[in-house]
Amino acid sequence: MLRLRAFKATEDPEGCAKFVKGHGDILTSIGVNKVTSSSPTWVDNPGTFVLVVEDPETNTVLGGARVDTSFGNSNLPISVATSYMDPKVDDYIAEEAKMGTGEICGLWNSRKVAGMGFGSLFLTRAAVTISHSVGVHSLFALCAPYTVATAETFGYGIIKDLGNDGTFYYPKLDLLATAMLLPDTETIQDATDLEKVRVFSLREDPSQYFEEESRRRSVPIQYDLGINK
């Protein structure tokens, strides 16, 4: 069994440190030395909420993601990463921030859980689950090509007004990222029926155990998504 846990960054320094190391190791292994969402300054941001995949027996962090919000003390990572290529990015974020916005960022998983769905599906589900409860009305994401389809199952759409029809060369020139937005985290209107059921259930009861199915295998997950707002 694996545990998928949520916490406010400023309330769990040890969890943040494990996240930073694991994420850094993965980026180094694929030849990416620096991305905006990996900067450890977020650990002191009161507007950052962290999701970690843990081995409950050892408390080892095997993957993770973050929800950075517009209520924090820094710009959203998508702004830092892309606004110098397209100034309209900041205008777009500012408009969404009027009702409260955020971004799923820093998503990673270790080789131990590769292929289980944590690299996109389950962590995105957890991020969408907690976003509305922390006052985030909309949610940005800068997606690698292989995660675009997963984001769309939660109701995300490509922001074609930005970049080159929604895409940017990031985090380096031979890698492509797509700017996406979930416009309403409360209703997730365009999400699939399965994800609506899971997200609404986890909002009602943030601590639940599920035998999830991913790529024809069963993945036992204890969700622990209750956080201090």
- Find the CATH number of the domain harbouring 73: 3.40.630.30
Count of domains forming the chain: 1
Give the tens place of pLDDT for each residue, 127-140.
999 998 899 999 99
Within-domain flag for 105: yes
Distances from the Cα of 116 to the Cα of 17, 44, 219, angstroms: 24, 30, 7
Q: Which residue has the higher pLDDT, 27 or 54?
A: 54
Give the tens place of pLDDT for each residue, 57-101.
998 999 999 999 999 888 999 999 999 999 999 999 999 999 999
Q: Where are the beta strands (DSSP E) in the chain?
A: 2-8, 48-55, 60-69, 101-109, 138-143, 157-158, 167-169, 176-182, 207-214, 217-224
Give the tens place of pLDDT for each residue, 122-177.
999 999 999 988 999 999 999 999 899 999 999 999 999 999 999 999 887 788 99
Q: Which domain holds residue 181?
A: 2-224
Q: Is the pLDDT of residue 37 over 60?
A: no
Within-domain flag for 20: yes
**Confidence (pLDDT) at 29:** 62
Within-domain flag for 229: no
**Confidence (pLDDT) at 3:** 95
